Structure 1
Amino acid sequence: MRINVLQHTPNEGPGMIEDWANAHGHPMVTYHPYQFGHLPNADETDMLVILGGPMSPNDAQPWIKQERTLIQTLRSRAVPMFGACFGAQQISKTLGYEVTKAPAKEVGWAPVYRQSTVIPGIPAELTVLHWHEEMFEVPTAAQLLFASERVTNQGFVLDHRIVGLQFHLEPRANNVREMVVNDYPYIQGSQLNQTAADILTMPVLAANQRALFHILDYITADN
């Protein structure tokens, strides 16, 4: 199974998604459309990962709209898709739903709470990395998967093949450092009231990797 990854900024890579791919023997190819302007071929995509980034789905860059065309094609073929932050917003926008300012800018570590038990093995609460100030609208046909105290729409699951998360489960500790070192000005104004040092001090919990792996196993079951 070929996993194609859409990465949208140098400091937000696939992280532990790569660990999952390697553990299953799946080849993974990473594309950088924000820099090079081209996307994978739908016929060569057995699973699509859409990562985060500083842009909005509401921006006008041509590659952002081209990504949504790819997402629509793959959805029609029941290809597994996983979106993180901007990636989840792109999926929602593709399906005709709004991406708007969230009730609170969340940057740092904070809990999210499971809202559905459709994916086995997901704990009732996870402490995860947030790095956003926009949010997706949950598609009507989807189930709300996670919520937080400040932003209800934190995750959704659709058709047993698509999961979008507003937060980040994928970063390893070194990925968190990379995000903080390169994008620390973005922390200002977050309602989580954490400093760069606070964010770096918090360890990446093993529960996050387990939850991520359960999600990826779920959307790729029988593939």
Structure 2
Amino acid sequence: MRINVLQHTPNEGPGMIEDWANAHGHELFVYHPYQFGHLPTAAATDLLIILGGPMSPNDELPWIKRERVLIQELLDQDVPMLGACYGAQQISKTLGYPVTKAPAKEVGWAPVYRQSTVIPGIPEKLTVLHWHEEMFTVPAGAELLFSSDRVKNQGFVLNHRVVGLQFHFEPRANNVREMVVNDYPYIQGSVLKQTAAEIMATPVPAENRVVLDKILDYITAK
């Protein structure tokens, strides 16, 4: 399987998604459209990963619009897709739904709560890394997958092939440190009231890797 990853900032990479790909013997290709402008073709994509970033799907940038063209092609072809944060918003926007300001800016570690059992084996509550102040609209036909205490739309699953997450399952501990040391000014104004040091000192829950693997297994199952 060829996994194409759209990375949108240097400090938010595929993290544990790369571990899953390696464990299954898949090839992983990372694109940086914000810097180089290149995107994979739909024909060369068996699984698309759309990562987070500081931009918004509402920004009028040509490469952001071209990403949505690719996403629509893959939706039409029933190709598996996982979006994280901005990535989930891009999927929703591609389907014609608005991306809006969230009720609260969440930056740091906080729980999310499972809202659907369509993906087996996901715990009722998980502690995850939040890094956002916008949110997607759950597309018609999709199931709400996760909610947090302050933001209802934290995850959705669509047609057994697409999962969008407003938060981050993918970072390892070193990835969290990379996010914080490079983007720490963004923490200001978060309702979670965590410092950069507190965010970095919080261990990545082992179950996050397990659930991420379950999601990837689910959307790629034959």
**TM-score, length of structure 2 as denominator length:** 1.00
For residues 114-167 of structure 1, give each alpha carbon's deviation from its aligned partner in whole angstroms, at most 9, with x where no partner exists: 000000111100000000000000001100000000000000000000000000
Tell me which residue corresponds to 2:72.
Answer: 72
Number of residues of Structure 1 aligned to a counterpart in Structure 2: 222
Q: Give distance in 1, aligned partners of 2:34 and 2:201.
A: 31
Aligned AA (2:21): A
Runs of 4+, deviation exceeding 3 Å: none
State the SS of the aligned residue for 2:200: helix
The alpha-carbon deviation at position 5 of structure 1 amounts to 0.2
Tell me which residue corresponds to 1:60.
Answer: 60
Q: Give distance in 1, aligned partners of 2:139 and 2:61.
A: 24
What 5-or-longer segments of structure 2 have no aligned partner?
A: none
1:1-223 paired onto structure 2 within 5 Å: 1-222=1-222
Aligned AA (1:63): W
For residues 9-58 of structure 1, give each alpha carbon's deviation from its aligned partner in whole angstroms, at most 9, with x where no partner exists: 00000000000000000000000000000100110000000000000000
Q: Give distance in 1, aligned partners of 2:170 and 2:126.
A: 13
Q: Give distance in 1, aligned partners of 2:45 and 2:213.
A: 20
State the SS of the aligned residue for 1:44: coil
Aligned AA (1:143): E
The alpha-carbon deviation at position 194 of structure 1 amounts to 0.3
Percent sequence identity is 79
Q: Give distance in 2, aligned partners of 1:95 and 1:173.
A: 33
RMSD (CA atoms): 0.3
Q: Give distance in 1, aligned partners of 2:61 and 2:121.
A: 38
The alpha-carbon deviation at position 196 of structure 1 amounts to 0.3
The alpha-carbon deviation at position 60 of structure 1 amounts to 0.6
Aligned AA (1:176): V
What 5-or-longer segments of structure 1 have no aligned partner?
A: none
The alpha-carbon deviation at position 108 of structure 1 amounts to 0.1
Aligned AA (2:195): T
Q: Give distance in 2, aligned partners of 1:26 and 1:94.
A: 27
**TM-score, length of structure 1 as denominator length:** 0.99
Aligned AA (1:94): T
Q: Give distance in 2, aligned partners of 1:52 and 1:72.
A: 18
State the SS of the aligned residue for 1:152: coil
Aligned AA (1:85): C
State the SS of the aligned residue for 2:127: strand
Q: Give distance in 1, aligned partners of 2:62 and 2:143.
A: 30
For residues 150-198 of structure 1, give each alpha carbon's deviation from its aligned partner in whole angstroms, at most 9, with x where no partner exists: 0000000000000000000000000000000000000000000000011
State the SS of the aligned residue for 2:35: helix
Q: Give distance in 1, aligned partners of 2:132 and 2:41.
A: 29
Q: Give distance in 2, aligned partners of 1:170 and 1:124.
A: 19
